[in-house]
Structure 1
Amino acid sequence: MIEILNPTELARARETGALVGGFLRTLRDRATVGTNLLDIDRWTRDLIADAGAQSCYVDYAPSFGRGPFGHYVCTAVNDAVLHGRPYDYTLADGDLLTLDLAVSLDGIAADSAVSFVVGDPGPEAAESHALIEATERALAAGIAAAGPGARIGDLSHAIGSVLGAAGYPINTEFGGHGIGSTMHQDPHVSNTGRPGRGYRLRPGLLLALEPWVMTDTDELVVDADGWTLRSATGCRTAHSEHTIAVTDDGAEILTLPR
């Protein structure tokens, strides 16, 4: 299903996006050395409840997961990159943490992710910051390529060109996606691709773009929890994501905090 939002729905999408962006900023500020991942999950639950919003994750049960996710935010540490299921782990100096959050408010969802280093970055500082910076630049390139008349392949090509130039292997199993009244919709937005191919973008379309990379592999392994995806080699990872709306003259980032 591909949804095209009308102006009233787009206004609601802006509210949801700002909420998600604000939540991630709050969680990032609170996530310090000594913080437990389960505390981050509880904070997220409370933020969502206090805003009168709904979690897109807690009851999420797609074919690739093992039963309902059962938590409110994805917390991926170091070699984990996607669908990081919170567990009893205390953050330490130099941990590379990714928070990925999707929330629905008034019937419209928004999805965003941020990666950052906790505490003293330590000996892996250069590698961690290079990973994060590459995903952020790739995200910016994908957003810049979006606009009415552009094709999905144009966005994928822009994202993949940045990641590839930085020297990172690119996995195409998981990528960006359409979003609207539900969290995951068509079209799929691969993190690499050929320009001029795929669905043609229209004003009112919402997309969650999410470049992610692993230092030295494009292969994933699944944790025993049935959800958390890690690099097959144990290398570090990073993930950046924004929900955008295609407008009459470009794209608007919805998941920036106000």
Structure 2
Amino acid sequence: MEQRYLRYSDGRYEADIDITVEEWKSMLQNENIFYKEALDMVLKWYKEIDHQATSKAIMAKYSPELKGTPYNGIVIGLTNRILKYLNRFEVIGTDGNKSKFIVPFEGWHQDYNPSKHFVWKLRDELVQALEELGMVDDQPFPSEEDELTSSIVESTPDGKKILCYTTRYERNAQNRRNAIKIHGTVCQGCGFDFEKTYGEIGRDYIEVHHVKPLCEGEGSVPINAETDLICVCANCHRMIHRRKDSVLSLKELQELLLANKS
């Protein structure tokens, strides 16, 4: 079996991982490779901005009651199964031992500082495979409900089932990532910073608002992330959609905040 070597370059760990999208798709559909816990792990990272996060941040979001992370063990087991299936190569780490995380993830320390937490980022080919298989859904944040959904509801008394017929407007995750790269994660309305307020769990969190609601369009439309999208906190996002007849513009929102500033 070919040996490939982990390299440390400009604060990042790199290796020659040549697993194709089609190979990832084949493995994702193989339950003997992607056990439920491994698929759950990958999907958690997929949902993060740019599909990257520290294990600590994922733990804080999904399993704050646990004292230790399960993800190191999960990724080791997953990588062992991947390499056995491919039977093509293994990766030797900078310490001379076999490296596992680098197969499904890329990695670096926050701010490229070895004393800070380690960031895992899903490989692009794995992300593409998940999307092509329809295994992921770009779910809206709850505060986007008014913009995303129109419903006809048939209901019965409290406690019984409600049947809802819903129209959802598909979002392209890349547009969201582009908006965040351009506008950042500090609210453009009020200046709220999730990370500054909540710490690690708030890192890289922000909501993305379509300046023109998708429900007003006729099918798919091209999106300019710089002019068609803005990044706002949950409170501002709710207020933007507060009026029934129309949404607030960013300028109107900022003027309201200024006028009511105590």
TM-score (norm 1): 0.26
Higher strand residue share: 1
Q: Which has the higher contact order (CA 8 A, sep 6+)?
A: 1
Higher helix residue share: 2
TM-score (norm 2): 0.25
Larger radius of gyration: 2
